[in-house]
Amino acid sequence: MVIGYRFNESCWGRGAATETVRAMVGYLFDTVGLNRIEAYVMPQNAASQRVLEKNGFIREGLLRQANFWTDKGVVDLIVYSLLRSDAR
């Protein structure tokens, strides 16, 4: 399962993303019963990387030229993952 999130700038720096990811992780592990959750982040998005790391996600590596965004062109992505065993 891959998770993603996007917040309006007015919510930045208030902990909303960290709390949202925490809630998603709890739901996906405890209710859905998943074993692995992934997230992909552009290398320059340090704030989103911190959100994932605060929630226990592990950086697995870089996917070079992995995605196309209309406003950015071809971009690299960093892969993060969290296993059920990591979250306990």
Structure tokens at 36: 């692995």
Residue type, 24: M
Q: Is 78 left (phi over 0), alpha (psi -120 to 50) or beta?
A: beta
Place 36 in a pLDDT band, splitting at 50, 70 and 90.
Answer: very high
Q: pLDDT category, 17, cuts 50, 70, 90?
A: very high
Residue 88 pLDDT grade (very low, low, confident, very high; cuts 50, 70, 90): low
Distance CA 45, CA 72 (A): 13
Instruction: Report all structural domains of the chain as residue ranges with CATH numbers, in order of start.
Output: 9-87 (3.40.630.30)
Structure confidence by residue, pLDDT tens digits, 65-74: 999 989 989 9
Amino acid in position 57: F
pLDDT reported for residue 80: 98
Q: pLDDT digit string (tens) for 40-67?
A: 999 999 999 999 999 999 999 999 999 9
The confidence score (pLDDT) of residue 23 equals 96
